[in-house]
Amino acid sequence: MTARPDDDTNAVRPYRDLREWLDIARELGLLKELDGAHWDLEIGAITEIERRRRLEGSSVLLFDRIAGYPEGYRVLTNADNPIPLVARSLGLPAARGGLAFVREWKERMKRFEPLPPARVEAGPVLENVFRGPAIDVLKFPVPRWNELDGGRYIGTDCVVITRDPEEGWVNLGTYRVQVHDRDRLGLYISPGKDGRIQMEKAFARNERFPVAMTFGQDPLLLYAASFHLPWGTCEYDYAGWARRAPIEVIAGPVTGLPIPAHAEIAIEGFVDPGEVQDEGPFGEFTGYYASDRRPAPVVHVESLMHRNRPILTGSPMGRPPSVVFYDLITSATLWNAMEAAGVPDVRGVYVHHMAPTTMFTAISITQRYPGHARQAGAAAIACRGGAYMGRYYVVVDEDIDPSNIDEVIWAMATRSDPEKDIEVLRRCWSGPLDPIVPPGEKGFNSRAIIDACRPYEWRNEFPRVVESSPALRARVLEKWGHIIG
């Protein structure tokens, strides 16, 4: 039987953990193995070069025999960019990128039904367990990723697991984690993120905040952890649904927090209220060191677990593009949220790779009534997926592909009049990493809606576009296609 294009169950071979995922990468020719690189800057620079050269067609990089470390203590980077692998992780059938990917994932997200994790008693993550003085996170070849980084970052492609101290639900987030010493880590969570709100709640009660972290895991867990899910939604439930099988978790021996049984490396620890230590700077997703060395909470590591021949996963950021999957998923999340907010006839939403988070987002609509375009822009500014650290929201007509930056620029240049078509909203949700906000003023930023749709009231009289009609194109292609393709 032939699989229908929308029949995604037929097309996707399930996998269980990072190692089986790597087998798929190898089979697809999307795995490069490198021996002998140095953890100090080399791994970061090699990853940057691979990513910049090919991006969506790039390979994952598996480093072994890292300088100063035994064979088998490995680092894996760039798991976030090769589209065929991102699609596999999410259970999508075809390796489509761009707007087709966004549309497909958006439709799947509408069918989300929580699938809670399954508790198991044992798992490979327990192959090696350490407590107290035996803990040393630098037994792994933790990279210094960029030349001006303030230290070695073990958490870049990590999953931070926490529990709401009042409501009891478990959150997964991806937040950067710096090594201070063998059992103390710096944790930076931006203001307003679920994990940060949970931590602040614990501190307000003057309680220690329990944390578990994995530093090597199935990429699907990283994707889920970095999704913008509604408050109260556990990312394990989301990953289980995407996988069509519950994620197996053990109870952390110290905190009781659920830890993926197949994680490569995991720790547990506590953050004490009021305790901070200088952290950073770190080469961030904006492409800048936008925040200097600053105090951040400290995690005291009380247990360390890892598999034999552990793989540390890393996702260095820096000058964009850096994490393609994040832009695609954010586009899908925002598109759904806009529809849920009541914006009709949205034809496409695309967060552009060179403008991370939602710093440049294009939205195409079929204009139905006066004010529809501004409504779409205003909703995108405020909705989940679009609200954090956004900048420009460009609304275009449906004949413009929002994922094609050239078309978006053409629309902006020809269908908007700056005097009339740019709206600015001030004092919006930003954070310490926003490069254009001066030090000392970080926290808020402004947003612009650029209405690049044909003006509604004379849209039908707007100058006609100069291009061949579909009938003429078809006729010409039939006759000349053998030469012009």
Ligand X SMILES: Cc1cc2nc3c(=O)[nH]c(=O)nc-3n(C[C@H](O)[C@H](O)[C@H](O)COP(=O)(O)O)c2cc1C
Neighbours of 355 (CB within 10 A): 19
Q: From the CB of 333, what's the least distance to ligand X, in Å? A: 9
Q: Which of the ranges 27-35, 101-109, 185-193, 435-443 carries the binding residues for ligand X, by CB under 6 A? A: 185-193
Quick one: which of 194, 248, 327, 421 contacts ligand X (CB under 6 A)? 194
Question: By C-beta, is 232 or 439 nearer to ligand X?
Answer: 232
Check if the beta carbon of residue 449 is closer than 8 Å to that of residue 428: no
CA dist., res. 229 & res. 390, Å (int): 17
Q: From the CB of 302, what's the least distance to ligand X, in Å? A: 22
One character per residue 313-332, x = contact with ligand X (rule: CB under 6 A): --x-------x--x------
Q: Which of the ranges 145-153, 193-201, 211-219, 412-420 carries the binding residues for ligand X, by CB under 6 A? A: 193-201
Question: By C-beta, is 156 or 364 nearer to ligand X?
Answer: 156
Q: Which of the ranges 47-55, 186-194, 407-415, 470-478 carries the binding residues for ligand X, by CB under 6 A? A: 186-194
Question: CA torsion sign, 434 to 436 to 437 to 440?
Answer: positive
Half-sphere exposure in the Cβ direction for 445 (13 Å, CA): 23
Q: Which amino acid, one-letter code, is at 336?
A: N
Span 214-243, contacts to ligand X by CB under 6 A: 225-228
CA dist., res. 266 & res. 94, Å (int): 32
Q: Which of the ranges 19-27, 184-192, 458-466, 476-484 carries the binding residues for ligand X, by CB under 6 A? A: 184-192
CA dist., res. 123 & res. 116, Å (int): 18
Check if the beta carbon of residue 258 is closer than 8 Å to that of residue 265: no
Residue 153 touching ligand X (CB under 6 A): no
Residue 176 touching ligand X (CB under 6 A): yes
Quick one: which of 175, 209, 270, 360 contacts ligand X (CB under 6 A)? 175
Q: From the CB of 222, what's the least distance to ligand X, in Å? A: 7
Picking from 20, 139, 124, the residue whose alpha carbon sits closest to that of residue 73 is: 139
CA dist., res. 212 & res. 235, Å (int): 14
Neighbours of 370 (CB within 10 A): 11
Residue 193 touching ligand X (CB under 6 A): yes
Residue 186 touching ligand X (CB under 6 A): no
Quick one: which of 173, 216, 280, 386 contacts ligand X (CB under 6 A)? 173
Query: In a 3-state reduction of DSSP, which class is residue 90?
Result: helix
One character per residue 106-145, x = contact with ligand X (rule: CB under 6 A): ----------------------------------------
Q: Exposed, middle or buried: residue 162 (CB in 10 Å: 0-12, 13-18, 19+)?
A: buried
Question: By C-beta, is 363 or 389 nearer to ligand X?
Answer: 389
Q: Which two tokens stand for residue 266?
A: 């995991």
CA dist., res. 309 & res. 113, Å (int): 35
Q: From the CB of 338, what's the least distance to ligand X, in Å? A: 18
Name the DSSP letter for residue 94.
S
Neighbours of 150 (CB within 10 A): 18
Q: Which of the ranges 102-110, 127-135, 182-190, 406-414 carries the binding residues for ligand X, by CB under 6 A? A: 182-190
Q: From the CB of 58, what's the least distance to ligand X, in Å? A: 15
Q: How many residues bind ligand X (CB under 6 A)?
A: 20
Span 6-65, contacts to ligand X by CB under 6 A: none
Residue 171 touching ligand X (CB under 6 A): yes
User: What DSSP string describes 308-347?
Assistant: SS-EEEE----SSP--HHHHHHHHHHHHHHHHHTT---EE
Check if the beta carbon of residue 262 is closer than 8 Å to that of residue 125: yes
Question: By C-beta, is 91 or 385 nearer to ligand X?
Answer: 385
Check if the beta carbon of residue 62 is closer than 8 Å to that of residue 34: yes
Question: By C-beta, is 128 or 190 nearer to ligand X?
Answer: 190
Residue 82 touching ligand X (CB under 6 A): no
Q: From the CB of 483, what's the least distance to ligand X, in Å? A: 46
Residue 86 touching ligand X (CB under 6 A): no
Q: From the CB of 323, what's the least distance to ligand X, in Å? A: 5
Side-by-side strand order, sheet with 60-64: 31-35, 60-64, 74-77, 311-314
Residues making up the chain, counted from first to last: 485
- Binding residues (CB under 6 A) for ligand X: these are 156-157, 171, 173-176, 188-190, 193-195, 225-228, 315, 323, 326
